[in-house]
Amino acid sequence: MDVTGPMLVVDALTKTYDDGTTAVRDLSLSIDRAEIAALVGPSGCGKSTTLRMINRLVEPTSGTISLAGRDVMKVDPVELRRGIGYVIQQVGLFPHQRILANVMTVPSLLGTPKAKARARAEELLDLVGLDPATYAGRYPHQLSGGQQQRVGVARALAADPPVLLMDEPFGAVDPLERRRLQDEFRKLQQRLGTTVVLVTHDLDEAVRLGDKVAVMAPGGRLAQWGTPAEVLAHPADDFVASFVGSDSGLRRLSVTRITADHLESLDGVAASALAATLPVGATLEEALALMLRDDRAVVGVTDGPRFLGVLTPAGVHAALRASL
């Protein structure tokens, strides 16, 4: 396996189905290791088809896909899919197996010691918000649709695949819970170094989770490929501009993280002006939320036990500008 280049390279990929529908047109993307690429766009613009070409459930009409330097068309599909996790909305849990056994499927197949596989499955269930004490022993039909989806995410992560394809994985989960799951998922993905291609029609999800965002337009055209900040601040064309909408400024706050560069020293700041503190790496949106909540103009920023400095409204502006 080539361990130096990008993890996934899609080059001039086109899919025209037998009935003449071109679902994906001349798509090129390069996705680095441990990166999340979010494919976002309205219904029918070729997002799922792209995902299904990566794991060879759909054969491309033309173009190439290489995974860790290997042309996927030259890899046996069964072997290929063993290294690629796939989470879809209709999760396809085994109906006659309990939840714990469902999550342990792949580790068990791979011969992971039972106690270890079990401990990990329980940890993952907990992580996706399903208390193992309550849910591990249930069968899939005893869970709601959203809960089943979460089991699907836990099962995919249990296999620890280098590449994970996710098609609307949090679709059936209510908005608050969805946000929490997204945050937990992001943390775990960073810890594991998994490369992820995520399909969603939800722009907020795409910019929150994606290191890079591909905005797909009708006809399977790639309208823009860039960081969330680039897509929100500099839409490539009218389609992207209308897709990101007029509230893209607020979204930029939610994707821009606080760094040490935009902090000032605490000297001269009256204690009464200081709102609560946030860890470095939190978003500008979180900082503004604290300023509003505490009715204070300045937020303290910490790095573990260390106090790094304070973020002021001017710092928020500077960080937003620097994010481009």
Ligand X SMILES: Nc1ncnc2c1ncn2[C@@H]1O[C@H](COP(=O)(O)OP(=O)(O)OP(=O)(O)O)[C@@H](O)[C@H]1O
Binding residues for ligand X, rule: CB under 6 A, are 17, 19, 21, 23, 41, 43-49, 201
Coil, strand or helix at 111: coil
CB-based contacts of 131-134 (< 8 A; 24+ apart in sequence): 132/100
270 exposure class (CB count in 10 Å sphere: 0-12, 13-18, 19+): exposed
Smallest distance from the beta carbon of 315 to ligand X, in angstroms? 38
Asked if 130 contacts 147 with a C-beta cutoff of 8 angstroms, the reply is yes
List the structure tokens of 213. 């965002």
CB nearer to ligand X: give 19 or 238. Answer: 19
List the structure tokens of 179. 């946000």
Coil, strand or helix at 114: helix
Smallest distance from the beta carbon of 199 to ligand X, in angstroms? 6
Write the CA distances from 103 to 155, 171, 234, integer angstroms: 4, 19, 41
Smallest distance from the beta carbon of 161 to ligand X, in angstroms? 21
List the structure tokens of 32. 């680095």
- The identity of residue 153, as a single letter, is V
CB nearer to ligand X: give 90 or 190. Answer: 90
CB nearer to ligand X: give 90 or 134. Answer: 90
Alpha-carbon span 164 to 204, nearest angstrom: 20
CB nearer to ligand X: give 66 or 200. Answer: 200
Question: Nearest 5°: CA angle at 264, between 260 and 267?
Answer: 135
Smallest distance from the beta carbon of 56 to ligand X, in angstroms? 15
Smallest distance from the beta carbon of 64 to ligand X, in angstroms? 19
List the structure tokens of 166. 């996710």
CB nearer to ligand X: give 21 or 142. Answer: 21
Smallest distance from the beta carbon of 48 to ligand X, in angstroms? 3
CB nearer to ligand X: give 199 or 263. Answer: 199
Asked if 33 contacts 195 with a C-beta cutoff of 8 angstroms, the reply is yes
CB nearer to ligand X: give 47 or 262. Answer: 47
List the structure tokens of 318. 């500077």
Smallest distance from the beta carbon of 145 to ligand X, in angstroms? 17
